Structures are given as structure tokens and as C-alpha cells.
């Protein structure tokens, strides 16, 4: 897959090929299965929360099972929490005893995952929370995603915390072979320090770094469609993130799951505009992925397998048709129409007027009818615009239809967001 976005021109360019990844939030919070921020949102005293360490024993954890699901879902890379806000570390760190080695399980989760990713050629990215509710030097001051105040015995000291953080970054970037990304979260004081990403870049030059850390990094991270970016294509690298459930990123026993239609519209909207997409599940405490979450990933994977060519070596081309019901991607003589918001069973591709040779609904391969005669709504123009007609819109109301249009001649002109070119067919 490719996009119209300027590449980095180095090892980080894997990012523009992989496009769709699996996000995993996993840690002690999976034991109660309430929310990944159980300690803070549930007002659990730190002395209580740490007792979960003695119950960490994910005997069903199998990195290959996760990667099998990733493959079935049509995903191409993995991003996993190494340390969430609770401070519990999923790797063999020398910087704090609050880690997976000092539990009944006693094994390095990140090490096992990294080995499996390397064996199977899956790019691995690591999530790391700057905010930390456990490490005694982190200044918990009640700012965004911080505990209200330091815990008894804490010694808030930002400089010492940064030494701890950098030592952990060095471990992660030195002990697990090649990494493909570093995903910062919750740099609460918005403390800038370019030396942190510089360390990552020195140790792992092919790693892409997100924008939630200590400098702007390589890519933006819009979350859960909170903001609807009106851009019809992106001109800088973006990786949207979303979870399969409305409430939580970690495992939640009472999770409320999004509909397939909601997730597919979100996924298509980002992929068709040239962004990457990271979709999250929260494994249960035993290490298995909840069946509901796995089923969602598989259904989305079936959609992606059917329509995937619309994202393969194509470029965003939505500027050709400013209709907000649809987005476009293009390659040579082929245009792909992504119906992210159809309101009826036909869709107009104004200002296009050229009939295609063939129109196919990629979701199931059926042919699609078209017309170019004058529609009553275009009486002022007295022009017949290309319409796709008789679409099975109700049948696909919980999905996104993608229609492939093949034209007789190559599409002319670079259909980039800046040219605003019409689709010229010779």
C-alpha cells in the first residue's frame, strides 16, 4: 500500500507500506477487567493496586496466537504497551521491581513477543506511558492522567524520573532486536527534550516515533474519531488509533463494542485519506484475546481482504469528487469509490461525466450499474454526471461499500490534493 504523503526516505518507510496495525493494551488491569486506568478512575489506593502483581500469571499467553489473529485481521504490524500509566512493566527491566519477572508468571512478555515478531517478520512498535502512578520520582500533581497528589513515600523529582525513563528506553531499544516504532503517551507536563527521541533514533533508526512524547516526532495520532478532520487527504504522516470497545483500551469484562459499520467507516476514512490505522484490543488476564474482540478483528479482516486492492499502490484522490458521502483512491485507469456515508442507493460522482468500462462492488464482486443522463438535481448545469445506481445500500448499512471503476484510458494528471484537477479521461 502507498500514500501520497512524502516519505521519510529511510528505514522508517515501512510505515507507509504496513498501514493497518494491531494495538494491544495489556497489564495488571486485565485481572479485574474494568479499565486500563482502574487505579486512577477507580480511586484504588496504590498499596492495594500493587497487590495485583502477585496475581499476574497469564498462562495462556501465546505470542503466535496474537500474531495469527493479526494476520487474519489483515493487519501488518503490532504496537504493544510496555508500561501503561500504572507503571507495571511487561519486560525484564532493571529499573524497577514492578515488572512481570517478579510475579508468579516470571517471564518477559516483550521478549517473547519480539522473538515471535522477528521470526514472522511483523514490525513491532512499543507503547510507553510517560505518566507513571508507581515510580516514586514521577511528579503526580493531579494534571491530566496523573494521580491527585504524590503517594506516601514518593519523592517527586522530574530529573530523576527522566533518568529512569531514559534507562528504560535504552533497555527496550537495546535488548529486543529491531524495533519499528516507539509510541509515547501522556507526556503530561508537555516537557520537551529532544535527547529522548535522539536516543531512540540512534539505537533504532527504522523506528517511527509518534507525537505524544518529547518532541513532535514523525506522525500524528488522532484518537477514536474525537475530532473529524475535514481534510480529504493527509499531507503529513498520520496514524489514527481506535479501540474495538467504547469504554476501555484494556480488557473490560462489560465492554460495549462498536458496530462493524462504525469501525469500518472509521478505518476506511483514514486509510483512503492516506493515514495509517491502529485498532486496539485488550487481552484478558490469562493472555487470550476476548472472543468478541477477535471476532470483530476477523470480520474487519474479511472486509479488508475483499476491498484491499483499493488501498494497494493507490493514492488518495478524493479531491476529484467533493461529495462528502464518499472518498476516492486511484491507480492508473482505476478509481475506487469508498462509500463512507451513502444516504441512498445511488451516488453521484459530480463533476465526473465519463462512463467507466466496468464498475464492480469489491465487497462481493457484483457488477454495479451506472448512468450519465441528466438528473433533475442538475437542471441548472444541464449536465449529466456519472452516477452509480442500484447499490445494495441497506444490505451494507453496517459496512462500507467500495466500488472499483475501470476506465478505458489512464487517468490524466497527478490527482493530488493541491492540483484540484478534474478526472480527465483521454
Taking CB under 6 A as the criterion, which residues in 170-199 touch ligand GLC?
185
Smaller CB distance to ligand GLC: residue 220 or 384?
220
Any long-range contacts for 390-398 (C-beta under 8 Å, 24+ apart)? 390/345, 390/346, 391/339, 391/342, 391/345, 391/346, 391/347, 391/361, 392/345, 392/361, 392/366, 393/339, 393/342, 393/344, 393/345, 394/345, 396/339, 396/363, 397/261, 398/259, 398/260, 398/261
| Residues paired with 83 in a beta bridge | 89, 128
Beta-strand pair 124-129/181-185: parallel
Task: HSE, CB side, 13 Å, CA atoms: give it for residue 70.
Answer: 29
Select the residue interacting with ligand GLC from 16, 34, 36, 134 (CB under 6 A): 36
Smaller CB distance to ligand GLC: residue 223 or 409?
223
| Distance in Å, CB of 75 to ligand GLC, minimum | 17
| Distance in Å, CB of 36 to ligand GLC, minimum | 5
Size of the site for ligand GLC (CB under 6 A): 7
Lookup: cell for 80: 504493544
DSSP assignments along 17-68, one per residue = HH-EEEEE--SGGGTTTS-TTHHHHTT--HHHHGGGGGG---TT--HHHHHH
Smaller CB distance to ligand GLC: residue 35 or 338?
35
Taking CB under 6 A as the criterion, which residues in 306-345 touch ligand GLC?
none
Smaller CB distance to ligand GLC: residue 24 or 386?
24
Beta-strand pair 20-24/276-281: parallel
| DSSP label of 245 | B
| Distance in Å, CB of 382 to ligand GLC, minimum | 51
Smaller CB distance to ligand GLC: residue 186 or 389?
186
Sign of CA dihedral 63, 64, 66, 71: positive
Distance CA 83, CA 318 (A): 39
User: What are the helix and strand counts (H, E) for the chain?
Assistant: 9, 17
Least Cα distance to 80 among 21, 134, 168, 20 occurs for 21
Q: Edge-to-edge strand order for the sheet containing 387-389? A: 347-348, 387-389, 369-371
* Residue closest to ligand GLC (Cβ): 249
Taking CB under 6 A as the criterion, which residues in 2-31 touch ligand GLC?
25
| Distance in Å, CB of 34 to ligand GLC, minimum | 13
Smaller CB distance to ligand GLC: residue 221 or 372?
221
| Distance in Å, CB of 81 to ligand GLC, minimum | 7
| Distance in Å, CB of 394 to ligand GLC, minimum | 34
User: Residues 220-259: x/- map of binding to ligand GLC (CB under 6 A)?
Assistant: ---x-----------------x-------x----------
Smaller CB distance to ligand GLC: residue 214 or 396?
214
Taking CB under 6 A as the criterion, which residues in 282-311 touch ligand GLC?
none
Smaller CB distance to ligand GLC: residue 223 or 286?
223
Smaller CB distance to ligand GLC: residue 129 or 135?
129
64 binds ligand GLC (CB under 6 A): no
| Distance in Å, CB of 183 to ligand GLC, minimum | 8
Structural contact between residues 266 and 308, judged by C-beta atoms closer than 8 angstroms: no
37 binds ligand GLC (CB under 6 A): yes
Smaller CB distance to ligand GLC: residue 212 or 265?
212
Length of the chain measured in residues: 426
| DSSP label of 359 | E
| Distance in Å, CB of 411 to ligand GLC, minimum | 37
Q: At what angle do helices 194-203 and 158-175 cross, to 10 degrees?
A: 10
**SS3 for 257?**
strand
User: Residues 366-405: x/- map of binding to ligand GLC (CB under 6 A)?
Assistant: ----------------------------------------
Smaller CB distance to ligand GLC: residue 130 or 297?
130
| Distance in Å, CB of 6 to ligand GLC, minimum | 25
| Distance in Å, CB of 425 to ligand GLC, minimum | 43
359 contacts: CB under 8 Å, gap ≥ 6: 367, 368, 369, 370, 388, 403, 404, 405, 406
| Distance in Å, CB of 33 to ligand GLC, minimum | 15
Can you give the binding site for ligand GLC, defined by CB under 6 A?
Answer: 25, 36-37, 185, 223, 241, 249
Amino acid at each position: 500500500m502507498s500514500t501520497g504523503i512524502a516519505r521519510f526516505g529511510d528505514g522508517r518507510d515501512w510505515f507507509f507500506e504496513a498501514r493497518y496495525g494491531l494495538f494491544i493494551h495489556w497489564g495488571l488491569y486485565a485481572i479485574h477487567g474494568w479499565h486500563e486506568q482502574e487505579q486512577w478512575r477507580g480511586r484504588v489506593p496504590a498499596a492495594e493496586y500493587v497487590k495485583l502483581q502477585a496475581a499476574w500469571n497469564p498462562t495462556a499467553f501465546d505470542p503466535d496466537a496474537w500474531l495469527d489473529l493479526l494476520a487474519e485481521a489483515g493487519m501488518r504490524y503490532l504496537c504493544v504497551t510496555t508500561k501503561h500509566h500504572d507503571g507495571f512493566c511487561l519486560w525484564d527491566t532493571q529499573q524497577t521491581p514492578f515488572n512481570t519477572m517478579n510475579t508468579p508468571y516470571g517471564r518477559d512478555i516483550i521478549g517473547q513477543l519480539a522473538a515471535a515478531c522477528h521470526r514472522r517478520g511483523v514490525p513491532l512498535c512499543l507503547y510507553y506511558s510517560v505518566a507513571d502512578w508507581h515510580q516514586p520520582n514521577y511528579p503526580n500533581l493531579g494534571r491530566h492522567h496523573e494521580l491527585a497528589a504524590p503517594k506516601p513515600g514518593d519523592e517527586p523529582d522530574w530529573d530523576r524520573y527522566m533518568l529512569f525513563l531514559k534507562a528504560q528506553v535504552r533497555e527496550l531499544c537495546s535488548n529486543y532486536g529491531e524495533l519499528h516504532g516507539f509510541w509515547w503517551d501522556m507526556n503530561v507536563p508537555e516537557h520537551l527534550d529532544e535527547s529522548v527521541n535522539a536516543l531512540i533514533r540512534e539505537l533504532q533508526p527504522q523506528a517511527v516515533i509518534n507525537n505524544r512524547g518529547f518532541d513532535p516526532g514523525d506522525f500524528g495520532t488522532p484518537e477514536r474519531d474525537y475530532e473529524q478532520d475535514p481534510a480529504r487527504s493527509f499531507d503529513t504522516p498520520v496514524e489514527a488509533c481506535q479501540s474495538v470497545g467504547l469504554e476501555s483500551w484494556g480488557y473490560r469484562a462489560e465492554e460495549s463494542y462498536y458496530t462493524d459499520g462504525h469501525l469500518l467507516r472509521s478505518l476506511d476514512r483514514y486509510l483512503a485519506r492516506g493515514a495509517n490505522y491502529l485498532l486496539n484490543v485488550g487481552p484478558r488476564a490469562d493472555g487470550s484475546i476476548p472472543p468478541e474482540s477477535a471476532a470483530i478483528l476477523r470480520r474487519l479482516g474479511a472486509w479488508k481482504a475483499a476491498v484491499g486492492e483499493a488501498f494497494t499502490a493507490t493514492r488518495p484522490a478524493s479531491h476529484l469528487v467533493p461529495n462528502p458521502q464518499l472518498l476516492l483512491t486511484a491507480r492508473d485507469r482505476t478509481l475506487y469509490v469508498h462509500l463512507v456515508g451513502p444516504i441512498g442507493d445511488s451516488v453521484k460522482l459530480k463533476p465526473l461525466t465519463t462512463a467507466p468500462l466496468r464498475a464492480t462492488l469489491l465487497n462481493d464482486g457484483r457488477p454495479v450499474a451506472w448512468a450519465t443522463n441528466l438528473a433533475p438535481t442538475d437542471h441548472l448545469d444541464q449536465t449529466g454526471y456519472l452516477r452509480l445506481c442500484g447499490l445494495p445500500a441497506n444490505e451494507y448499512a453496517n459496512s462500507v461499500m467500495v466500488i472499483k471503476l475501470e476506465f478505458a484510458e489512464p487517468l490524466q494528471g497527478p490527482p493530488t490534493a493541491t492540483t484540484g484537477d478534474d478526472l480527465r479521461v483521454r
